Amino acid sequence: MEVLNSNLVEWGVAERRLAGEMLSGDLHKVMPRGDGVLIAVADGLGHGAAAAAAAGLALETVEQCAHQPLVQVLKNCNQKLQRTRGAVLTIAFLNALDGSMEWLGVGDVRGVLVRSMPGAKALTECLSLSSGFIGGKLPPVRAATLKIATGDTLVLVTDGIRKGFEEGLVLSARPQKAAESILRRDGLDTDDALVLVATFQGRAR
C-alpha cells in the first residue's frame, strides 16, 4: 500500500514481466503535483529492453513536465520519444481542491473509474483513448474531466490484461490487493502486464 500527498490517494500496483525477459516495458509513475496527484502508466511497444527504455523515457518526461497541462505533457513525451520504438501512455490528474479528475491517453493503456457511491450516474466510466502511439505521428488529443468523490477508484491497465476485465468489476479490497487480484485473474501470458489501482481519499482541507 502507498499513501501519497497527505492521504489524498491510496494506491497499489501489480506487475509481471513476459516470461524470459529481464525487463518489463510496462512502467508507472505516481507523484504529487500541487494540490493533487499525477498518475501515469506507459507501455513501450513490444517487450524487453527497448520497450523498457521507451516507457522509462516517457515517464521521465512526464515527471519533468508535470506542472504543465496534460495535453502539453503528452506532446512533450511524443517529441522526446521520436528516436525510440515508441510507447502508449495514459495520464490522470486527481485534483483534491475541486474533487475532479482529468485524464487522457494515446494507445491502449486502458483507464476505468469505479464509483464508490451506488447512486452515482455510472458505476464505472471508461477513458476514451486516442489511437496511435507516443513517438510517432500524434493524433489529436483532448483531456476529459470528471467529478470524483471520496472512495472513487481509478484503475489503469496495460494490454497484458484481458479486454473486458472491467465488466462487473467490484473493488472491495485495498488498492494493492485489488491490483494483485486483477492481475491474477485477468493477466495474459503473452505480454508484460501492469495494473495500477488508486483510490481518492477526499478533498484537501
- Quote the number of domains for the chain: 1
Q: What is the pTM of this model?
A: 0.93
**What secondary structure does DSSP assign to 118-137, as a single string?**
TTSS-SEEE--PBSS-BTS-
- For 179, the grid coordinates are 491490483
d(CA 144, CA 142): 7
pLDDT for res 175: 95
Expressed as residue numbers, the domain containing 29 is 2-200
pLDDT for res 204: 56
- pLDDT over 90 percentage in the chain: 82
d(CA 64, CA 76): 10
Residue 109 lies in a domain: yes
pLDDT for res 3: 45
pLDDT digits (tens, 9 = 90+) for 114-136: 998 765 455 889 999 999 999 99
Residue 182 lies in a domain: yes
Residue 143 lies in a domain: yes
CATH assignment of the domain containing 43: 3.60.40.10
Residue 205 lies in a domain: no
Q: What is the pLDDT along the chain (205 residues), one digit of tens a residue?
A: 454 544 789 999 999 999 998 999 999 999 999 889 999 999 999 999 999 999 999 999 999 999 999 999 999 999 999 999 999 999 999 999 999 999 999 999 999 999 987 654 558 899 999 999 999 989 899 999 999 999 999 999 999 999 999 887 778 779 999 999 999 999 999 999 999 999 999 865 5
- The position carrying cell 523498457 is 52
User: What values do phi and psi take at 82, rounded to 5?
Assistant: -60, -30
Residue 122 lies in a domain: yes
Helices 49-64 and 70-80: crossing angle in degrees, nearest 10, is 140
d(CA 164, CA 143): 23
- For 60, the grid coordinates are 521521465
pLDDT for res 1: 45
d(CA 76, CA 154): 24
pLDDT digits (tens, 9 = 90+) for 51-78: 999 999 999 999 999 999 999 999 999 9
